[in-house]
Amino acid sequence: MIGNQIRTVVLLGLLSGVLLAIGAYFINIYVALVFAIALNFGSYWFSDKIVLRMYRAKEADVSKYMRLHQIVAEVAKKANLPKPRVFVLPTDNANAFATGRNPKHAVVAVTKGIMDILTERELKGVIAHELAHVKHRDILIASIAAMIAGTITMIAFIARWGAIFGGFGRGKDSGNIFELLALAIVAPLIAVVIQLAISRSREFLADEDGAKYIKDGKALASALMKLEQNSKQHPLRFGSPSSAHLFIVNPFSGKSLFKFFSTHPPVSERVKRLDKMHF
């Protein structure tokens, strides 16, 4: 757990370093930064409402989903968290996610599909994973990473126009338009890779702590294997791939073409780590 926390800090530091490095070239960095902060502040503050509406989620009726509510309450108590609101998504894709700006405003959402294929023990493992995200304030961490990466992307956009019209800042003084174009292309690519690495690191941490809450790593490992297979057979047909990182497994495809550009670590690696845990 400590290793993953340190990794997150290092990756956020690298992301900030990329921002500062390219910011030295441009006078427009403050405009981009203010815009990115405003955009991501809104996303962070209203994340639960935005995502739930995007995925057509409905609050789970207590009488209809009594056992689901009981499981969430039970795991929340073990994680020392208030019971979050519970929602259900109308899809055969087996998945789950957590959102909300803090533990007091948290939401755990599960799909209809996940309740059809998981045992109660496996479902507890998934709920524990999502509540670990809530406890770690991962929505806040993801928002910070998105803000910095978004600022870098916006500066790169400005740089491309600067190169087209003759450059500006240090690029104009040196007359090195090729350097400016390279910066405009490479910087956002680096930012995205680091941002996704942060997301993968938080998934490992949520797996580990979730297993600790219920003292059962094999339940989550078994669930992850089922969810990965289901995602290949029943990919999600609505929503946005930009929010794939919220889900416990990628709901839009069973496999990523490039590991570095995946929002999730390989399930095989997650299962291997969970199987090594003993309680």
Catalytic residue list:
130
Burial 14-28 (b: 16+ CB within 10 A, else e): bbbebbeebbebbeb
The amino acid at residue 83 is K
The closest of 112, 114, 106 to 83, measured between CA atoms, is 106
Beta bridge pairs of residue 247: 97
- Cβ neighbors of 202 (< 8 A, separation 6 or more) are 4, 8, 133, 136, 138, 141, 142
C-alpha dihedral over 88, 89, 92, 95, to 10 degrees? -80
DSSP reduced 3-state for 63: coil
* Helix, strand, coil percentages for the chain (3-state, nearest 5): 70, 5, 25
